[in-house]
């Protein structure tokens, strides 16, 4: 599946490459391009569908609704990803529900500021979600269709891949394969600061929803750590000097109460999340071929 928006310069070469490698079941989900992207893709034999709504998340939703094959491979339509790497995904597809293409080769084709941002976003994601992924923003990945149909995508823009990883990497069998990254053909749509901030905000929100134990534990730590020295200082001032700092005392108690509530929320959320994961795991096993269970 190729999500596109004004990619007429790259879509021709990309589809030609796919066809030359024997891939003919090509779905292009177009975001109402104002250039000739959809016309060119259709003329090359691809199945073209106009997406619902706007943004990449809506394109992915549209693709999932129109996929009848067991697996759905998604790659950006700007010619940055090499169709020759698809075989690497197919080699492991039977054993995994979600396979991410890690941009190991061709990193120099990614602007240096984007490389730094991607590294920061990936490390933050791994810390908050308890994963070990190497390229959280990769635009090439394969999903078992049954797993894709269970996704509840709510973000938009460039946070799509992060949300998919948050839902699948924590509940489904996941792995990574190295892929090549090529120079982009056409105008880039990613804004370093704006979209980087949006993705980081999405990661924090997704961690709260999908890995609440670690998220709330972190919140509790951040509030409890300053509370103890504050209360210790208040007590020392009262014992040694007979001075009672009521304002500081209230602040320390409030911070401790907030920390205790965060721990409670984390515990309750963890139980609910564990139940949800068991249900998802049971459904996944039920739909997996017997030889791969």
- Per-residue pLDDT reduced to its tens digit, 74-116: 999 999 999 999 999 999 999 999 999 999 888 888 888 889 9
User: What's the number of CA atoms in the CB half-sphere (13 Å) around residue 22?
Assistant: 4
pLDDT tens digits along 199-244 = 888 888 888 777 777 777 777 777 888 888 898 989 998 898 888 8
- Given a cut of 60, whether residue 121 has pLDDT beyond it is yes
The average confidence (pLDDT) of the chain is 87
pLDDT score of 292: 47
pLDDT score of 287: 53
Question: What is the Cα–Cα distance from 240 to 237, expressed in whole angstroms?
Answer: 5
* Mean local confidence (pLDDT), 153-173: 88
Domain boundaries, the chain: 2-210, 212-292
* Mean local confidence (pLDDT), 7-20: 95
Question: What's domain 2-210's architecture?
Answer: Alpha-Beta Complex (3.90)
């Amino acid at each position: 599946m190729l999500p596109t928006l004004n990619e007429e310069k790259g879509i021709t070469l990309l589809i030609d490459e796919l066809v030359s490698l024997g891939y003919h079941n090509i779905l292009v989900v177009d975001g109402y391009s104002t250039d000739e992207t959809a016309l060119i893709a259709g003329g090359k034999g691809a199945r073209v569908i106009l997406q619902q709504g706007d943004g990449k998340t809506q394109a992915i939703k549209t693709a999932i609704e129109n996929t009848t094959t067991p697996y759905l491979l998604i790659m950006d339509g700007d010619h940055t990803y090499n169709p020759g790497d698809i075989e690497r995904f197919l080699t492991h597809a039977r054993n995994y529900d979600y396979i991410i293409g890690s941009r190991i080769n061709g990193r120099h084709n990614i602007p240096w500021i984007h490389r730094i941002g991607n590294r920061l976003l990936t490390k933050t994601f791994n810390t908050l979600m308890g994963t070990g992924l190497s390229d959280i923003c990769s635009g090439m990945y394969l999903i078992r269709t049954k797993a894709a149909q269970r996704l509840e995508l709510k973000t938009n823009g460039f946070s799509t891949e992060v949300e998919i990883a948050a839902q699948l990497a924590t509940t489904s069998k996941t792995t990574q394969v190295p892929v090549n990254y090529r120079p982009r053909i056409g105008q880039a749509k990613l804004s370093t600061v704006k979209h980087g901030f949006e993705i980081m905000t999405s990661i924090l929100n997704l961690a709260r929803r999908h890995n609440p134990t670690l998220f709330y534990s972190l919140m509790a730590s951040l509030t409890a750590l300053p509370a103890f020295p504050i209360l210790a200082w208040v007590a020392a001032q009262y014992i040694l000097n007979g001075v009672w700092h009521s304002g500081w005392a209230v602040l320390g108690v409030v911070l401790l109460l907030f920390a205790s509530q965060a721990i409670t929320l984390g515990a309750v959320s963890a139980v609910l999340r564990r139940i949800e994961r068991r249900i998802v795991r049971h459904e996944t096993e039920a739909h997996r071929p017997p030889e791969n269970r």
